[in-house]
């Protein structure tokens, strides 16, 4: 499909166009609270009758709200939900163990690592990682790799990372990804390195599993989208801070 034609398509329009590729699939999506990209994605796909949605979110009530909305659109689609905090690796391991134990989920055809965060002051997780790097990259990386047995059980597995053109803000700071020196911390540098890591993860998965297992992995920039993700940010300072990060 020519790029200019794709740009004119809505999510629901593309879902209808590729309905045969969606029907019967088991699709796992992280970060599905109402008002976000993840919720919009699953609601666009729901009428195309996927076999199952696995919805992972940090807030159980909001995740269930999206599950109910899916059920109204596609009553025959099975839905499983699980609470997970991607910034906590112990929580990720617990969620992955539960999913691997679900006998009614023999495979995962599509995994969408959508959940993420941005902005805010420097924070270190209880496990010792810078929060943006943990939430946006380490958690999704661990989840994906722990679930790989069920992903590779699909005939045509797909892994999609919600990336960002914010990757231009920073490469991975391999010498100090957790900003041990708090004085050099910049929230957009931290965000940028996490998005660069998302891209490299997709490249690595495609290289490692593409030929033998037909796995395709992508890191996608959704564009400038107004969602609840930015509800805590002072947007008047956003472009100033990002400009300083690039200077």
191 is known as an active-site residue: yes
Q: Which of 185, 191, 209, 239 is catalytic?
A: 191
In Å, how far are 80, 113, 114 from 123, measured between CA atoms?
Answer: 31, 22, 21
Distance CA 116, CA 135 (A): 6
Distance CA 73, CA 55 (A): 16
Which residues carry out catalysis?
Answer: 191
């Amino acid at each position: 499909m020519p790029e200019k034609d794709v740009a004119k398509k809505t999510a629901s329009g593309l879902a209808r166009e590729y309905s045969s590729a969606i029907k019967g699939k088991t699709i796992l999506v992280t970060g599905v609270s109402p008002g976000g990209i993840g919720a919009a994605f699953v609601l666009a796909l729901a009428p195309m009758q996927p076999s199952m949605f696995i919805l992972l979110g940090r807030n159980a009530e909001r995740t269930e709200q999206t599950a109910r909305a899916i059920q109204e659109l596609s009553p025959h689609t099975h839905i499983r939900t699980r609470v997970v905090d991607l910034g906590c690796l112990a929580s990720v391991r617990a969620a992955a163990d539960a999913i691997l134990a679900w006998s009614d989920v023999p495979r995962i055809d599509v995994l969408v690592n959508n959940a993420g965060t941005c902005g805010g002051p420097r924070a270190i997780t209880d496990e010792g990682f810078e929060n943006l790097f943990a939430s946006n990259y380490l958690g999704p990386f661990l989840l994906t790799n722990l679930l790989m047995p069920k992903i590779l059980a699909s005939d045509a597995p797909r892994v999609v990372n919600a990336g960002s053109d914010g990757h231009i803000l920073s490469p991975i700071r391999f010498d100090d990804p957790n900003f041990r020196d708090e004085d050099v911390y910049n929230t957009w540098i931290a965000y940028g390195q996490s998005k660069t890591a998302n891209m490299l993860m997709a490249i690595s998965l495609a290289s490692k599993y593409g030929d033998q297992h037909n796995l395709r992995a992508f890191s996608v920039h959704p564009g400038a989208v107004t969602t609840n993700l930015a509800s805590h940010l002072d947007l008047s300072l956003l472009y100033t801070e990002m400009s300083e990060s690039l200077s």
